[in-house]
Each structure stands twice: as C-alpha cells, then as structure tokens.
Copies of this chain bind each other. A is one copy, B any other.
C-alpha cells in the first residue's frame, strides 16, 4: 500500500506538503498540487483510514442495532439508513439484537469500543433497563432511537404515533359496525406495543364499547404461526368477536390464513385490521386493511438527525434532542367491511 511518504520520496518533497496538496490546502503552489495529485493517482494512493481515524478521532462509521433483520419493516429502515449514510460518506455497521437485552448490551459495548461516530437503535423486546443507553449518552456518543424507543432516555427519537394510529385502526373497526373487538397485542415491554394497546383501549372507551381484557391476547414472537394459533384460540374462547386489531401484518396474515382454513368469512364474520402495511398485505386474499408505517423514511430521518448531532458535537455546539413523529395512514382493503 502506497503511503504519503512514498509519494514524498518519489517527488523529493516533504510528507507535509504532500498531505496538504492532496487535501487542497491553499498554501501549496498549484504546480506542486498538480504534481502530487498526478503521482498519487498514478500510484493508486489511498489514505490509510486507520491513521486518519486516529488523527481526526472520527471513523465516518456509525453503528446500527436492530432487533431482527429478516423483517420487512426493519429491512426497509436499514435501506433508508444506509442510503442516507452513503450520501454523507458514512458507513453503517449493522448488529442484530434478536430481541435480547443481553445481546443488545454487548453490542452497544462493541460499538462503543469500536468508537463509531454515532449509534442508531431500535430496542429489543427484552429491554426494560436503560443503563446501557445512558452510558452511550454519558460517553457523548450521539444516539438516535427509532421505532422501539425508551421514553425516559434523553436522546433524539424518530417514531410514529402508535397510540393514535391504533386508535384510528380500532375506530375503523367500530365504524364498520364491530361491537366485540379483540386485540392481538405485542409483548409487554416495548413502548410501541403498549401504545398500540392503549390506543385500542381508548377507542373502545370513547365509543362506549366495554373494554374486556379477555379479548386482549398477548403475543410473544409476533410470527405468522402465532397469528394462526391465536386466531384459532379466539374461535374457541369468543365466538362473538366480530373484529380484531392485530399488532402486525405478519401476524394478521397468519390469522387470515387460519380463518380461511376454518371457513370463517372475512370480513362478513370477522373484520381484521393489521399494522405496518407490509406489501404482502395487498396480495393475500382477502387483502388486509392496515396502518401504513413508513420504514424507509424513518431510516432516512433517523440518520439525518444523527448526522446533525455528529456534526454539532464536532463543532462543540450543544446538541438539542428532537422527537420526530412520522405520519401513518389507514389503508383500507378487503379484510374490513
């Protein structure tokens, strides 16, 4: 690998001048600049980023921790982040927490000791303690949380209004005439499953429907299989249910598949609404009414905010945290009347 020193020797000038010429410093003569640049490209010189990092104390690399990569919503977020980062000359190291608090903690440690310039994170379902997050903040590494966040942690956040979106979804079921509405909710810890549950509950109350906790099913891994399982369970427990608000499209599609199998007519016998607007929602039969959740935009926005914080930190500006709430919208399809 070619170094500055080699270029300098080649031309019989100093390393300092070579470095400056390459970086376009004004105090280098045009002649020298031209010569240096030509020689550099001829020798295929590439600055040693390890040395540059050490000197400049930044790596132009950020870390991203995500609960699960093989997931349409999250892979869309990743895509948004990577694209935006690339535009600004940043690279992205991706880690997957597998919804585990322990792993998430280890990975943050890893990223911190790699000295990434910033961290983007969506919390694991298992995360109920935030010491590992406040440690990042204490170390003054910029961090932006998205989608699955911790409200109490003082940092920038990019989210949707889960509560409002869930309220609208539930209200849609009420509007089409449902009287007994079940909810397949996500795990207990994540803020978004809490908020979606609260939105559901609020909508019932506001429209004079009794809240019945036995109609709320607590899911664990949010899979297709769980959707099918609880759809079946619901048929056993509550024959009278005429609508379900389901936390995630994948689960909803599992439920639809089970109802199809059992010959339950959707939406005639039961209305179903999902969440996220995974593109398969438009493809299955009946197609799924759902809430559109803008993953790609969320990723882009999250990086933009992180980028600004990284720059501000470099300039020693005080960082003011932002909370961005992206819009969602109801997408009405065949699974609701």
Contact = CB atoms under 8 A, between A and B. Distances in A.
A70 to B, nearest CB: 5
A115 B60 CA distance: 13
B96 A93 contact: no
Contacts of A59: 50
A285 interface: yes
Interface string A91-132: 111111000000000000010111100000000000000000
A167 to B, nearest CB: 29
A93 B95 contact: no
A69 B79 contact: yes
Nearest to A140: B1
A103 to B, nearest CB: 9
A110 B93 contact: no
Nearest to A139: B1
Contact of A50 (B53, B78, B79, B93): B53
B94 A82 contact: yes
Interface residues of A, number: 45
Nearest to A257: B283
A2 B92 CA distance: 25
Contacts of A153: none
Given A72-B70, A113-B47, A114-B49, A283 B253 contact: yes
Contacts of A61: 93, 114
Nearest to A51: B54
Contacts of A279: 224
A141 to B, nearest CB: 11
A61 B59 CA distance: 13
A133 B46 CA distance: 17
Interface string A15-57: 0000000000000000000000000000000111111011001
Looking at A70, A113, A279, which has the most chain B CB atoms within 10 Å of its CB?
A70
A280 B110 CA distance: 35
A276 B269 CA distance: 35
Interface of A: 1, 46-51, 53-54, 57, 59, 61, 69-72, 75-76, 78-79, 82-83, 86, 91-96, 110, 112-115, 139, 224, 253-254, 257, 260, 279-280, 283-285
Given A50-B53, A54-B54, A82-B95, 5 more contacts: A47-B113, A50-B115, A92-B94, A93-B94, A260-B285
5 contacts: A48-B54, A49-B115, A70-B79, A91-B95, A91-B114
